[in-house]
């Protein structure tokens, strides 16, 4: 079971957009997919049509209370083959509640390990847009990272922060998630955007996505209706780009690369 986190310590980079729509694309390709929302805003659930306000139990309960089982928190979505572990503002209390526990940074890793083998082909984790104990749980629980980088200076800085976090984790534990893909997002034809894109090509020659996700009003509209782009506007440029990114993530499976595949 692949564990892929979508993460950037800067907000507004299309992290949730990528997580939810890539999950839908993988599901459409016949994969059984779970999205785990680790953001207090609960946007992954909202983007999939769930009203997460006041919802219980959520990922917060699952991480804190070992009497809460996976089947208690997982919920089906309107997308075939795609399930969700939702989050809401309750998750904001997680760092304080778990602070005394020696395994406080490994709760997500431990809980993902309880999911029955073969139930899902991939778990996609939507991380919060900040450095915190929740983010540390995501980094320790994931095996692969997708970093969306909006083509602005601050988002590029957020990408650098994640790389530093990976270096620290590798130094502490001897291992860290693999950088699977860096995805340029919110592209508009400007000199600054092209300069940042060129820097990304130079910095990540092997990990940079072949597809640049441009700004798309259809993607925003789809989220406001609680639908994926493939349900809302399947022929839009946003759908085409997100499908291509999903396919590239699928093709970059570690097992395939180890076997000399795509």
Instruction: Dump pLDDT digits (tens) for 91-107.
Output: 999 999 999 999 999 99
Look up residue 208 and give its DSSP letter: B
Pair of tokens at residue 211: 């597809």
How high is the pLDDT of residue 130?
A: 82
Residue 38: helix, strand or coil by DSSP? coil
Peptide bond into 238 cis (omega under 30): no
Determine the length of the chain: 262
Look up residue 150 and give its DSSP letter: E
- All domains of the chain in start order, with CATH: 2-243 (3.40.50.300)
Taking 3-state DSSP, the helix, strand and coil percentages for the chain, each rounded to the nearest 5, stand at: 45, 15, 40
Share of the chain above pLDDT 70, in %: 96
pLDDT band for position 261 (cuts 50, 70, 90) = very low
How high is the pLDDT of residue 142?
A: 96
């Amino acid at each position: 079971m692949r564990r892929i986190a979508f993460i950037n310590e800067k907000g507004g980079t299309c992290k949730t957009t990528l997580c939810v729509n890539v999950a839908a694309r993988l599901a459409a390709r016949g994969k059984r997919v779970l999205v785990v929302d680790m953001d207090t805003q609960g946007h992954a659930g909202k983007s999939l049509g769930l009203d997460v306000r006041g919802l219980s139990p959520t990922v917060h309960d699952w991480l804190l209370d070992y009497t809460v089982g996976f089947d208690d928190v997982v919920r089906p979505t309107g997308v075939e083959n795609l399930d969700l572990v939702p989050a809401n503002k309750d998750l904001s209390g997680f760092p304080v509640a778990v602070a005394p526990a020696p395994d406080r940074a490994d709760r997500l890793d431990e809980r993902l390990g309880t999911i029955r083998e073969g139930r899902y082909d991939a778990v996609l984790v939507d991380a919060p847009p900040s450095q915190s104990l929740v983010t540390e749980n995501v980094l320790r629980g994931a095996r692969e990272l997708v970093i969306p980088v909006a083509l602005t200076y601050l988002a590029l800085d957020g990408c650098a922060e994640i790389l530093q976090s990976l270096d620290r984790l590798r130094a502490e534990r001897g291992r860290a998630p693999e950088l699977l893909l860096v995805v340029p997002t919110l592209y508009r034809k400007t000199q600054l955007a092209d300069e940042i894109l060129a820097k990304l090509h130079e910095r990540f020659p092997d990990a940079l996505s072949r597809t640049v996700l441009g700004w798309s009003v259809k993607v925003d509209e789809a989220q406001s209706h609680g639908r994926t782009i493939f349900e809302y506007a399947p022929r839009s440029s946003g759908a085409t780009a997100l499908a291509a990114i999903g396919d590239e993530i699928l093709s970059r499976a570690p097992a395939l690369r180890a076997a000399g595949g795509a």
